[in-house]
Structure 1
Amino acid sequence: MAHRLALDDQRMETIMGRLLQVGVLLASAVVLAGGFLYIRAHLGSIVNYRTFAGEPAALRSVRGLFRLLMTGDPAAVIQVGVILLIATPVARVVFAVVGFALERDKLYVAVSVTVLAVLMASLIYSI
């Protein structure tokens, strides 16, 4: 007989807390690395504050971001860190849906799915 992993409230809370910690630390490390790369690439540059120069449009699409990331663009590395930071609470809600489903807690599954739907709608709408 297979040993089944018990997923009680305390264990779920611990895993969710660890998920949030790891997500924030990973995002912070990526943004920090991108920041160092950005400073190194622009060290000694003269900045003209009279005109606004936005970031490239490629940073706003997955394909463009991936392309810039493969070329080692520091702004793309920072962007990936920001995406990881945004994805962290979304991953927590996904884990909550799965965890509550395993516990067969229909009310909390419904609440978590609703929260996930609102999160996804706001992410999709903001693009």
Structure 2
Amino acid sequence: MLSQKSTTDIDIQHIIGWILRLGVIISMFVVFAGGCLYLYRHGTEVLQYSQFKGVPDFVHTPLGIWHGILTLRGRAIIQAGIILLIATPVIRIIFSAIGFALEKDWLYTGLTLLVLAIIIGSALTGHAG
């Protein structure tokens, strides 16, 4: 016999679905806006392939990205959109853990928090799980 889903379970699923949709849509618009701004400022530059110019220093740190956004640098805005896209599934995992905790399903709450800890640890250390 199949178990009936509770109203809370269905509500959490809808919230998680909206989080994923909005995360992707918002990050898409941020990347698009950054790309347009970048092309507006640098679209007519002549590229010189004889010299390698790496990524600017301001897109390597969160503070640099934030400063780049405030000064309307296209690359920083694009980087922020990519970070938003990466953060979207992490936010989904957080809401899943909250949903499992509300249902008092402690096994899945623990497993979800373990997955979250592995993802955060991997992001901060640079090592895969």
**TM-score, structure 2 normalization:** 0.88
Contact residue 58 and residue 76 of structure 2 kept, 8 A:
no
Aligned length: 122
Query: For 1:15 and 1:93, how far apart are their aligned partners in 2?
Result: 12
**Counterpart of 1:106?**
106
**Matching of residue 10 in structure 1 with residue 7 in structure 2:** no
User: What is the percent sequence identity of the aligned residues?
Assistant: 38
**Counterpart of 1:79?**
79
Computed over aligned residues only, the root mean square deviation of the Cα atoms, in angstroms, reads 1.6
**Matching of residue 70 in structure 1 with residue 70 in structure 2:** yes
Q: How much does 1:53 deviate?
A: 1.2
**Counterpart of 1:28?**
28
Aligned amino acid, residue 31 of structure 2: V
**Counterpart of 2:39?**
39
Could you list the runs of 5+ residues in structure 1 that have no partner in the other structure? Answer: 1-5
Q: How much does 1:15 deviate?
A: 1.2
Aligned amino acid, residue 107 of structure 2: L
Q: How much does 1:62 deviate?
A: 1.6
Q: How much does 1:63 deviate?
A: 1.5
With a CA cutoff of 8 Å and minimum separation of 6, indicate the structure with the bigger relative contact order: 1
Q: What SS does the corresponding residue of 1:51 show, helix, strand or coil?
A: coil
Aligned amino acid, residue 109 of structure 1: T
Q: How much does 1:9 deviate?
A: 2.3
Query: For 2:82 and 2:39, how far apart are their aligned partners in 1?
Result: 17
**TM-score, structure 1 normalization:** 0.89
Assess, with a 3 A threshold, how the Cα gap between structure 1 residues 52 and 42 changes in structure 2: closer, same or farther: same
Q: How much does 1:7 deviate?
A: 5.2
Query: For 1:100 and 1:40, how far apart are their aligned partners in 2?
Result: 47
**Counterpart of 1:3?**
none
Following TM superposition, the consecutive aligned residue runs of length 4 or more in structure 1 with deviations greater than 3 angstroms are none
Query: For 1:18 and 1:124, how far apart are their aligned partners in 2?
Result: 27
Aligned amino acid, residue 16 of structure 1: I
